[in-house]
């Protein structure tokens, strides 16, 4: 990546569930940022040459022998450093301070008293004030390293904010990245703009021009094959790559029979007729559905679909005379969730993406122009590229499609039932003017049947579950609070109009960081 590396912030991840929110807040301040796990931070530092460093929180204790550390030379690099929660503790420990278990742990809302001044507070907080923050710590700093002064304290953290203004080292015991710290985004903006001296002028227009140059440099005279899925990610990637290299790009749209209603026709019309992008339309629904026969375990379905996609791409690449590159719409959350930063289970969360590279047998390299972007940033780039709002604003749709919205075995009959129910649900959401207020809404065909009464008859049919969530970055999700009248109207339509469903339920589950799909 060649995106103005000297105008960036490096975020060192120690395993916090909300590290990605730090990147979001920094980017909201108009500054480019990247996350690197602590054990890969040296590599990212050399590549980015950042103007500042942020150390994230994490679940470890610095008193453990094998707990993660920041590369020691970061503290000698002359760069501003902001250390958050565990980051504060490891910075204090590595610079000669002392960390110990707290007798007054703090988890949740807390209040800090401002008892000193700091450039971090410029235009925001002042000595003598009290402010709400969000704490999550069991340990705390007991002795500050030489050169540090306390500028804010809470009941459970005497060094809630401690700084070495001379060396531009700033440490917080609370989490400024979460919404529960009302002024947290402004604190982070102060750090990247005032302390690190970055102008805050990173825009999608700049990203577009940079990525066009990157694509041309990577591809040269080579041929690129891009897999369209019908979603916004692959659509934006395809249009961006086409702008960069023109007819060196061929798009392959594989209709796996698992798409939403009328979606295949929309994809073909947009790319073949509107953009005049070379497009190969492959109807492989029989191949995919045949392979899914007998599979009911989610990961087995994902792997079958992924393997079949790759097989088809290889075959189509051969037909067009061979391709040197495979383009796909991998996003930053895919990358974050597919890499186990601290040995956790995240390596399997996004297994349907080839974020770790392609199988060795494929003689192609990956082109992933959206790899550094969050979903809402992809939408902004799509608008910058002039994509129709119908595509840019479309709710996310997973690569495996309806296969992971049909728990249990996937059949054509079940897909057809779900497609109809899903279309009614989305139509009612649009009719109510709610589509753009919702991040993702979809129907799920549950692997259970229930006895119901329709008119004078008893029925034994499927249960349909409805889900709708709000989100900004696709990493966390809260339910959308439909009113009872709306849900009743949708349920009545689905039961009346979709043969095979006799009961509808609504999923009221919120999700912490991680996948927001239903499996």
Catalytic option among 85, 226, 251, 415: 85
3-state secondary structure (DSSP) of residue 288? helix
Confirm whether 368 is a catalytic residue: no
The question of whether 464 is a catalytic residue gets the answer: no
Contact (CB, 8 A) for 18 and 42: no
Q: Is position 175 annotated as part of the catalytic site?
A: yes
- Report CA torsion sign: 207, 212, 213, 216: positive
- How far is residue 369's CA from residue 56's CA, in Å, rounded to a whole number? 26
Task: Quickly list DSSP for 92-142.
Answer: HHHTT-EEEEEEEEEEEEEEEEE-S--GGGTTT--TT-EEEEEEEEEEEEE
Give the integer Cα–Cα distance in Å for 370 and 236: 8
Measured in degrees and rounded to the nearest 5, phi and psi for residue 279 equal -135, 130
The residues, any chain, with a CB within 8 Å of residue 135's CB and separated by 6 or more, are: 106, 107, 108, 109, 110, 154, 156, 157, 173, 174, 175
Q: CA 391 to CA 388: how far, in whole Å?
A: 6
Q: Which of 93, 131, 137, 175 is catalytic?
A: 175
Looking at 320-393, list the stretches that DSSP marks H as alpha helix, in order from N- to C-terminal side. 332-338, 375-385, 389-392
Q: How many CB atoms lie under 10 A from the CB of residue 469? A: 21
- Contact (Cβ atoms closer than 8 angstroms) between residue 271 and residue 253: yes
Helix-, strand-, coil-residue percentages of the chain, each rounded to 5 = 40, 25, 40
Q: Are 17 and 475 in contact (CB under 8 A)?
A: no
* Positions marked active-site: 85, 175, 177
């Amino acid at each position: 990546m060649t995106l103005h590396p000297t105008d960036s912030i490096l975020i060192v991840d120690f395993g916090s569930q909300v590290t990605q929110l730090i990147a979001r807040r920094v980017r909201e301040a108009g500054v480019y940022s990247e996350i690197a796990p602590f054990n890969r931070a040296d590599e990212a530092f050399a590549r980015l040459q950042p103007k500042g460093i942020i150390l994230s929180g994490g679940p470890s204790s610095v008193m453990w022998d094998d707990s993660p550390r920041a590369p020691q030379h970061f503290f000698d690099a002359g760069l501003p450093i902001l250390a958050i929660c565990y980051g504060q503790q490891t910075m204090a420990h590595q610079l000669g301070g002392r960390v110990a278990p707290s007798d007054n742990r703090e988890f949740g809302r807390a209040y800090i008293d401002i008892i000193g001044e700091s450039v971090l507070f410029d235009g925001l907080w002042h000595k003598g004030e009290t402010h709400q923050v969000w704490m999550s710590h069991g340990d705390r700093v007991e002795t500050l390293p030489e050169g540090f002064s306390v500028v804010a304290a809470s009941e459970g953290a005497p060094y809630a904010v401690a700084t070495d203004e001379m060396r531009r080292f700033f440490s917080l015991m609370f989490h400024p990245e979460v919404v529960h710290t009302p002024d947290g985004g402004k604190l982070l903006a102060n750090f990247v703009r005032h302390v690190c001296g970055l102008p805050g002028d990173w825009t999608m227009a700049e990203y577009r021009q940079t990525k066009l140059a990157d694509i041309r440099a990577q591809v040269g005279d080579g041929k690129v094959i891009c897999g369209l899925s019908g979603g916004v990610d692959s659509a934006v990637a395809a249009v961006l790559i086409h702008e960069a290299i023109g007819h060196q790009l061929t798009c392959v749209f594989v209709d796996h029979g698992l798409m939403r209603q009328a979606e295949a026709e929309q994809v073909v019309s947009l790319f073949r007729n509107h953009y005049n992008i070379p497009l190969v339309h492959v109807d492989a629904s029989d191949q995919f559905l045949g392979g899914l026969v007998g599979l009911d375990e989610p990961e087995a379905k994902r792997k079958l679909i992924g393997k079949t996609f790759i097989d088809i791409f290889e075959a189509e690449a051969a037909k067009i005379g061979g391709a040197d590159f495979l383009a796909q719409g991998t996003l930053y959350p895919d990358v974050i969730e597919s890499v186990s930063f601290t040995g956790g289970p995240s390596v399997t969360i996004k297994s349907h993406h080839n974020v770790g590279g392609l199988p060795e047998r494929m003689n192609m390299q990956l082109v992933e122009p959206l790899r550094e972007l969050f979903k809402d940033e992809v939408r902004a780039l799509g608008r910058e590229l002039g994509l129709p709002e119908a595509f840019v604003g479309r709710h996310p749709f997973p690569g495996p499609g309806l296969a992971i919205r049909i728990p249990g075995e996937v059949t054509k009959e079940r897909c057809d039932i779900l497609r109809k129910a899903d279309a009614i649900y989305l139509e009612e959401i649009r009719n109510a003017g709610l589509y753009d207020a919702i991040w993702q809404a979809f129907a799920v065909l549950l692997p259970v049947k229930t006895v119901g009464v329709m008119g004078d008859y008893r029925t034994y049919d499927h249960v349909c579950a409805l889900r709708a969530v709000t989100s900004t970055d696709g990493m966390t999700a809260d339910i959308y609070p439909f009113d009872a009248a709306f849900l009743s109207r949708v349920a009545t339509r689905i039961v009346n109009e979709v043969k095979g469903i006799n009961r509808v339920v609504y999923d009221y589950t919120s999700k912490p960081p991680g996948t927001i799909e239903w499996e």
